[in-house]
Structure 1
Amino acid sequence: MKCISVYTNDFEVFSDIYEKVLATPIAENEEKQVEGVTVNGSGDVPESYLDRMKAKPDVVVMKVKNKDITILQHGGVFEIFIPERENMVH
């Protein structure tokens, strides 16, 4: 799974830039600014990381209904997990 980290603890800010973050091409370990918020291409993450994080009591788990995207919020970061098939160029 590809992971994109968005460094804000404000859900409203995250929600406002979410679509722009997904539309922004970002390479692994590349850092960019989207509307003043730092975004980092965290690269590929194993499914086990996602499962461990979901089990923690201080992690909020969100699913995007129409896509197989999972978003975790913890501390001052949102992590967007995108399955590799969602990233394929057609």
Structure 2
Amino acid sequence: MANGEIYPEDASALRASNYDDWAAVADQHRESILERARQATREREKAIHQEQVKRQQQWAEMSLLERMSANPVSEVAAAQAREQWGITGR
């Protein structure tokens, strides 16, 4: 307060001391900080969503062979299939 700076966390103390105008300024600072954080979160979530939509569109446009090559069978799954189907490799 001596420097003329009002911080968001000072609002309750200012209100308790009957400095309602300064408490309102502190509340405004707090709201602006929260709004910037919300906006950053919205932008980040929008970017993630756009990337997911892009990947889904690419997947939808792929042919069956392209999908199979993009998602290869793991070694474990291949070994299990060989055992289940009786494939010995001889």
- TM-score tier by shorter-chain length is under 0.3
Q: TM-score, normalised by structure 2?
A: 0.22
The structure number with the bigger radius of gyration is 2
Q: Which has the higher contact order (CA 8 A, sep 6+)?
A: 1
More strand by share: 1
More helix by share: 2
